[in-house]
Structure 1
Amino acid sequence: MPYSNATKQAFADALRKLLEQKPFAKISVSHICEECGMNRKSFYYHFKDKYDLVNWIFDTEITKIFSEEEWKNAGFTWDILEKICEYFYKHRTFYSKVLQIEGQNSFTEHFRDILVPVNRKFLAMVEEEEKGEHEEFYIHFFSDAFLAALVRWLEDRECVSPQEFSALLRSSVEMIAKYVLQSQK
């Protein structure tokens, strides 16, 4: 691992450890630096702020699951959704905390920005007349719905398996699609 990535990973490990002890809002850059024995100058050389560190953790780990090319060019598939759910489930303690953070630079905004193009590709499979003039609304609706369902799932003490959760998402989408298609007849 190149030195730069090792340094970034040390900050990431420190943040994960601190999140086991206290909420994200109570963790400062100084706390992260103290935890891993590095200075603030080094932190700010690599990251804009602690939110940027959270986003880096996700971006780095998701590319271990999918190649960068595969992730950026992925059309929507249920297999990809299941892999994403497995990733969040494996790291649910971390993500259940960082997904609670709202606002500028938050992971929630970062992940929403990732979901929008994925949903755009998904809706590209739907015929133009069915989308009508409200395509952007549908794209953001499905992005927000997935995010809300993900947060609720991760925060549930007895959350179902990633396979069951992704199956529930799939059946929900299929049920909505079936209803829409029947109502148009």
Structure 2
Amino acid sequence: MVATRDTKRMFADELEAMMARMPLSKVRVADLCARLHVERRVFYYHFKDKYDLVAWVFEQDHLAASENAQPYTLEFYTESHRRLWARRDFYRRAFEEDSQNSIYRYLLEFSIQANETALRRHLGVPKLSREMAFEARHFAHGNVGSVVDWLRGDFEATPVQLAVCIFSCIPEVLREAYRTQSEL
């Protein structure tokens, strides 16, 4: 039996190949499975839908970036953006869609949760004040929106330049929260 990670990677690779020729909105799970000669239940054992598969690809790139750099440092942002840029055609197509389960919404929630968690730990509180919750959400919207604009070609920069721009915009309390979290 093929390992779970290998199976997920197999679906991810085939999805990326399909998206080289069509937008994510046109990709059907049935077609993906047919191309891989597997039953649809195999796909649904690992993913709830095609958006979950795209999110898994992003998570793998995110994890790989954090293997090479301390999370949420300038080096991490640079490595993360290099990985996104290396797959920019895939991510561009993924970001074309803005449905309820879209990768944009997933990344936004991912970023908000990461920011809120870091702030709660840093401040030692179970619940953030309205102001701190706003900081977490505001930076997440700016960060994700900027990356999407960049991938779509609306903002021209190298991965390093984008990382510097985003890193310089991190609110001081959030920067401190991530710095102290990375020291743990």
TM-score range, shorter chain: 0.7 to 0.9
What stretches of structure 2 of length at least 5 have no aligned partner?
A: 173-184
Structure with max Cα Rg? 1
- The CA distance in 2 between the partners of 1:54 and 1:134, in whole Å, is 32
| Map of 1:84 onto structure 2 | 80
Decide whether the 8 Å contact of 2:23 with 2:96 is kept in 1: no
| Map of 1:112 onto structure 2 | 108
SS of the residue 2:101 aligns to: coil
- What's the offset of the Cα at 1:49? 1.0
Instruction: Please list, as runs of the form range in 1=range in 2, the aligned pairs for 1:4-153 lying within 5 A after superposition.
Output: 4-67=4-67, 74=71, 76-120=72-116, 121=118, 133-153=130-150
Query: What letter corresponds to residue 152 of structure 1 in structure 2?
Result: D
| Map of 1:181 onto structure 2 | none
In the superposition, relative to structure 1, how do residues 157 and 103 fare at CA in structure 2: closer, same or farther (>3 Å)?
closer
Offset from partner CA, 1:109-149 (integer Å, 9 cap, x none) = 221122114434379879xxxx9842222211111111111
- The CA distance in 2 between the partners of 1:15 and 1:93, in whole Å, is 12
- What's the offset of the Cα at 1:60? 2.5
- The CA distance in 2 between the partners of 1:94 and 1:144, in whole Å, is 21
Offset from partner CA, 1:73-129 (integer Å, 9 cap, x none) = x4x322222122111111111111212332433222221122114434379879xxx
- What's the offset of the Cα at 1:162? 0.4
- What's the offset of the Cα at 1:43? 1.1
Offset from partner CA, 1:24-78 (integer Å, 9 cap, x none) = 11110011112222221211122111111111112223223325xx88xx4x322
What stretches of structure 1 of length at least 5 have no aligned partner?
A: 178-185
- The CA distance in 1 between the partners of 2:114 and 2:6, in whole Å, is 30
Return the TM-score normalized by structure 1. 0.75
Q: Which moved more, 1:113-122 or 1:135-144?
A: 113-122
Query: What letter corresponds to residue 61 of structure 1 in structure 2?
Result: D
Decide whether the 8 Å contact of 1:123 with 1:139 is kept in 2: no
Query: What letter corresponds to residue 82 of structure 1 in structure 2?
Result: T
Structural RMSD (CA): 3.0
Decide whether the 8 Å contact of 2:78 with 2:159 is kept in 1: yes
- The CA distance in 1 between the partners of 2:60 and 2:145, in whole Å, is 23
Return the TM-score normalized by structure 2. 0.76
In the superposition, relative to structure 1, how do residues 43 and 123 fare at CA in structure 2: closer, same or farther (>3 Å)?
closer
